[in-house]
Amino acid sequence: MNRIAISAIPLLLVAALSGCSRTLHLELPSGSPVHLQTDENKPGSSVVDTRDVLLQPDTPSYKRLQEWLVHNQEGWSQSMATNPGGGIRVHAGNLHLQFVGGAVFTWTNKGQFQKEIREEDYAFLKKPAGI
């Protein structure tokens, strides 16, 4: 093989992996609260405070998150890039999500994935997260 063909192989692999849509089986651990985290910049300072709020299983927002997970199992793409900072981070057991603008990221034992969404799709998390 020539050098051009060999150097193109990694690019083709990245393109192939990032273009494939996957189904991920994401769910909340039964009966466990969810941590919602956001970052807040202190005015006039470079200090960033992390706000951590517990979302209890008996709340409407928790139930909406369960529904969101059920309806968003498909359409995930492998993410090769570093995810952006900020947004709303969701942690519960092995479930890790980050909602930022028009995307959601997740980390699983199979890698990092992302999915395009609308901000309205997760608006129910903004009030409990303090945004």
Assessment of whether the complete model's pTM goes beyond 0.75: yes
pLDDT higher than 70, residue 76 = yes
What was the pLDDT predicted at 81? 76
Phi, psi of 90 (to 5 degrees): -120, 125
Q: Can you tell me the mean pLDDT for 10-32? A: 70
Q: What is the pLDDT of residues 27-61, one digit of tens each?
A: 999 899 999 999 876 677 676 778 899 999 999 99
26 close to 95: Cβ distance less than 8 angstroms: yes
Tell me the one-letter amino acid at 52.
D
Tell me the one-letter amino acid at 110.
K
Domain boundaries, the chain: 21-129
pLDDT higher than 90, residue 72 = yes
Spell out the residues 6+ positions from residue 92 whose beta carbon is closer than 8 angstroms to its own: 28, 29, 32, 33, 34, 35
What was the pLDDT predicted at 42? 67
- pLDDT > 70 in the chain, percent: 82
Q: What is the pLDDT of residues 85-112, one digit of tens each?
A: 889 999 999 999 999 999 999 998 888 9
Alpha helix positions (H), the chain? 3-19, 60-71, 126-129
Rounded to an integer, what is the distance from CA 101 to the centroid of its chain? 11
